[in-house]
A and B are shown apart, each in its own frame.
Chain A
Amino acid sequence: MNMMSEAAVEKALDQKMNTVPFKMIGKDVSVYYGEKRALFDVNLNVRENTVTALIGPSGCGKSTFLRTLNRMNDTIDSCRVTGKITLDDGDIYDPSIDVVELRARVGMVFQKPNPFPKSIYENVTYGPKIHGLARTKADLDQIVETSLQKAGLWNEVKDRLHESGTGLSGGQQQRLCIARAVAVSPEVILMDEPCSALDPIATAKVEELIHELRTNYTIVIVTHSMQQAARVSQRTAMFHLGNLVEENDTDKMFTNPDDQRTQDYIMGRFG
């Protein structure tokens, strides 16, 4: 709490979740792709063990902001990030921070299920192996089991762990990707429209899973679906044209938003 600026403290006092500490703090975050500016001084904090939903029309910068949180934007040559983002008080853009270390703490699940074309077992163990989290085969087996259980996939795949991960259905693949992210024991999980390629039943399962994961992890989710944001998140942030329009408790956001643009977007008047 002592990291918070005075303004943020004041704002937080008004809010229902004001007692929950911040896990990640973004301060004046701007992102440029070459000459083009994609984010304008975004100040957005992510609370611990909370699901924060980022909503907004296409191209509003919500995915860009999400990707700054584990520095996935680094992989784009022309991309430049200014401002400050901290994870538990540590600046993640500090030169002394190892991006590999950061991504082990801040995991990511992508829009399209992207399991490695390897076995289910290898998919889950890849992360623990490269981070040296397991010494023995038994450790790895344990990680695979707990990760798949956390992702709600264990019962469906326990008899075919050594079959290809790409042979699973779309929803199962996405849960496998979640299990893979969970296997490295991250503190924060970023999800970039994790359900956009899934059917409603698979979506329901993933949403349920997000709800359960919240007890152990801090989750930031980008979504195009208002209903999904309302269902899974406790906090919602609305982006528009690269600006953070409003950040509020989800309940308040969907019933009585502070900003006119949020109301218009939620009512479906633009976007």
Chain B
Amino acid sequence: MTDMTSSVQSTFVRPAQARRDIGIKRRYAAERRFKAYGLTAILIGLFFLFVLLWTVVSKGYTAFQQTAITLPIEFSEKIIDPKNERGANPAKLMTANYPLLVRDALVKALGIDPANKPLVKQATDMVSASARTQLRDLVVANPAIIGTTATVSLLAEGNIDSANKGQIDLTVAEANRKVKDQQIEWMKKLSETGAMAKQFNTGLFTYGASSRPEASGIGVAALGSLYMMLIVLVLALPIGVAASIYLEEFAPKNRLTDLIEVNINNLAAVPSIVYGLLGLSIFINFAGMPRSAAVVGGLVLTLMTLPTIIIATRAALKAVPPSIRSAALGLGASKMQTIFHHVLPLAMPGVLTGTIIGLAHALGETAPLLLIGMVAFVVDYPGSPMDPSTALPVQIYMWANEAERAFVERTSGAIMILLIFLVVMNLGAILLRRRFERRW
């Protein structure tokens, strides 16, 4: 205090040029240095972001294509239903020897001697084992196809697919690679006739888990994730907003509410795997809910998302100018009317942003789902949230553990899809913010 008054007096008395050195040059130098640090930090961040995206995209973009072998398949009645029982017992169609159809078609297309068993085996290995179910589904859906010849596009086996995309080094010794010389020759032949070609990989979006990479996709996992997101949205948004409104507007400010506030802030920082343990012990072991079900996953993710939503909502409520509250109260609005007619609508952009960020966080969460058994090999679409299902990030985690080259590209491909989902959700948050934002 004395310093201040004395300097005020002395500057008043002293002439301007005699002012004491306050280090103008140093100040500007410090400012320039600080700007340089900031710029460096941003550049480093951008570099790593670029490296991350480059790695994922360069590895993953091939996952969106899949090699298919298109063959004229003769749906011979002799093979599918030799005793003509399908009228009496349609289940016969389910167990027919469909791989034989594929073998015959390959033998014909490649001109192999059917008696040469090892050669025929090499040929049939080029087509995915999923061809059995593909042909079965065709026949079951349309039994009239039996006895005719139809052109069917079959999935190439994973290694053939990888070789066709140039991902397998074909120059190494034949014994050290999965694709044999004879198969390479056939691939060339099939490619020349146009029977083997790459096409857009719709299966990546529709299939479920499979041990064969060419027949595995994220469809089932995506549906599981969708169920969980809906559960999180339906539970976390109303609970979170109601809790925030109560804490921010109605609760008395005392030790207890302070404690609750501190705890909510801490809960936002609790490692997500702890929520998984909580879900395991409460929802599965105590409440007896089904294992690996989206409903449990949704509940666990709700618990995890709640603190984020509550913190965002409280911040948004706090940011509403008090003059708006006074205006409404001064007109005789009740507290509830003030909040629901004026404060909450103005806080809505913040609430929605917080909710979507929380949902995006939940969508990418893996650890808690591992503990409640959602690391499951789920082939069929879950009919309801109570059925066993898995989630997108868990599917990525499981694929990342697989050895085949074709799973590596699928892992990156699935990461790309997940990232696109997250970007879309964040864009949605920004757009909602713009849409609801009001200036005063």
Contact = CB atoms under 8 A, between A and B. Distances in A.
Contact of B332 (A104, A115, A117, A166): A104
Given A72-B326, A114-B323, A126-B341, A166 B439 contact: yes
Contacts of B440: 115, 117, 166
A180 B252 contact: no
A40 interface: no
A126 B329 contact: no
Interface in A186-217: none
Contacts of B252: 77
Interface string B325-361: 1111111111001000110001000000000000000
Contacts of B323: 110, 112, 114
Interface string A140-184: 000000000000000000000000001000000000010011001
A72 B327 contact: no
Contacts of B327: 110, 114-116, 177, 180
Interface in A84-116: 100-104, 107-110, 112, 114-116
Interface string B52-77: 00000000000000000000000000
A181 B341 contact: no
B331 A181 contact: yes
Contacts of A180: 327, 331
A130 interface: yes
Contacts of A181: 330-331
B417 interface: no
B330 A184 contact: no
Given A103-B330, A103-B332, A130 B324 contact: no
Nearest to A129: B341
Interface residues of A, number: 27
B121 interface: no
A21 interface: no
Given A110-B326, A112-B323, A126-B341, A117 B331 contact: no
The binding surface of chain B is classed by DSSP as: helix
Nearest to B331: A127
A75 B330 CA distance: 11
Contacts of A70: 330
Interface in A61-87: 70, 72, 75, 77
A180 B328 CA distance: 10
A110 B119 CA distance: 92
B332 A127 contact: yes
Contacts of A101: 332
Nearest to A109: B330
Contacts of A77: 252-253
Interface string B410-440: 0000000000000000000000000000111
Contacts of B331: 103-104, 107, 126-127, 130, 180-181, 184
A126 to B, nearest CB: 6
Contacts of B330: 70, 72, 103, 107-110, 181
Contacts of A127: 331-332
Contact of A117 (B326, B329, B439): B439
A131 interface: yes
Interface in A29-44: none
Nearest to A123: B327
A123 to B, nearest CB: 9
A116 B324 CA distance: 6
B334 A100 contact: yes
A114 B327 CA distance: 7
Contacts of A177: 327
B69 to A, nearest CB: 63
Interface string A115-133: 1110000000011001100
Interface centre among B331, B438, B439 (most CB of A within 10 A): B331
A130 B332 CA distance: 8
Contacts of B337: 130
B341 A117 contact: no
Nearest to B326: A110
A117 B253 contact: no
A246 to B, nearest CB: 28
Nearest to B323: A114
A72 B338 CA distance: 14
Given A116-B324, A127-B331, 11 more contacts: A70-B330, A72-B329, A100-B333, A103-B329, A107-B331, A108-B330, A116-B328, A117-B346, A126-B328, A130-B337, A184-B331
14 contacts: A72-B330, A77-B253, A100-B332, A100-B334, A103-B329, A104-B332, A109-B330, A110-B326, A114-B326, A115-B440, A117-B438, A130-B337, A131-B332, A180-B327
Interface of A: 70, 72, 75, 77, 100-104, 107-110, 112, 114-117, 126-127, 130-131, 166, 177, 180-181, 184
6 tightest CB-CB pairs across the interface, nearest first? A108-B330, A103-B332, A114-B323, A104-B332, A117-B438, A127-B331
